[in-house]
Amino acid sequence: MARLAFQKLLLLVTAMSLPLVTMAGEVSVAVASNFAAPMKVIAQAFERDTGHKAILSFGATGQFYAQIKNGAPFAVLLAADDETPVKLEKDGFGVEGTRFTYAVGKVVLWSKKPGFVDDKGEVLRSGTFTKIAIANPKLAPYGLAAMQVLQRLDVSARVTPKIVEASNIGQTFQFVSSGNAALGFVALSQVFENGKMKEGSGWIVPSTMYDPIKQDAMLLMHARTNIAAQALLQYLRNEKTKAIILSYGYDF
């Protein structure tokens, strides 16, 4: 009799726990390369706090735009700009009313070599380098920002012949960190953590020298009923997540 009662209790406990298990889901996220480091941290916290798992893919925003239009099964886009989500919404691939700015990016001229980049970017005028890495300005907002900085400083003619163009800001960072380019324009988040530069030398470019890099998130149409996707977008807006984003040098 006692054993039967125990079995009934066990079945009841199991049944009560099933909804919690079935509610946990997965969300496929297209993440702009510049946001890779903070998003990895956020994804871990998101899974711990909600039970949902974020499957991350990193790349250039322009490439994600083409992939999404060609049927790539992403549920959420974390773009490196605020224009691509608008275009996807107009094209019928994004859910209206779900767009918001999750971060405002910053550009830094960076070298892995300590002391190589001065705190005013005068190294661009001195020309004491053979290669400078920049992301493709047609695909990557950070690459476009880099070109705007060169134009604002009136050094485009001098620097352009030395440019090594990367497909995205992740590859730009790899070129500089590997030594294939002496310096490059990268996202501050790639070399900045907990309020300081992780290594090397850099000039944090004043935000007045390039168009604001407002990075927007949005829910994609085919995942409009995906509970995990909706939860992730909400999670990106809480104070805990904002603190993580700020620690990597972003603004709001």
CA nearest 106: which of 27, 176, 177, 206?
206
Name which of 110-119, 171-180, 195-204, 226-235 the model is least confident about.
195-204
Region 100-129 average pLDDT: 96
CA nearest 210: which of 134, 125, 157, 116?
134
pLDDT number for residue 161: 96
Q: What are 58's two structure tokens?
A: 């990193």
Residue type, 147: M
Confidence of residue 11 (pLDDT cuts 50, 70, 90): very low
Do the two domains 2-104+213-247 and 107-204 of this chain adopt the same fold? yes
Q: Please state which of the four CATH numbers 3.40.190.10, 3.40.470.10, 3.40.220.10, 2.60.40.10 is assigned to the domain occupying 2-104+213-247.
A: 3.40.190.10
Confidence of residue 13 (pLDDT cuts 50, 70, 90): very low
pLDDT number for residue 19: 44
pLDDT at 85 over 60: yes
Q: What is the pLDDT of residues 177-223, one digit of tens each?
A: 999 999 999 999 999 987 888 999 999 999 999 999 999 999 999 89
In the chain, domain spans: 2-104+213-247, 107-204
pLDDT at 9 over 90: no
Q: Which residues touch 127 (CB under 8 Å, ≥6 apart)? A: 158, 159, 162
pLDDT number for residue 212: 95
Domain covering 107-204 in this structure, CATH number: 3.40.190.10
Strand partners, 196: 193
Q: What is the pLDDT of residues 52-84, one digit of tens each?
A: 999 999 988 889 999 999 999 999 999 999 999
Confidence of residue 102 (pLDDT cuts 50, 70, 90): very high
pLDDT number for residue 185: 98
Average pLDDT of the chain to the nearest whole number: 91
CA nearest 203: which of 222, 224, 183?
183
Region 25-29 average pLDDT: 97
The CA R_g of the chain, rounded to the nearest whole Å, is 22
CA distance 155 to 136: 18
pLDDT number for residue 67: 97
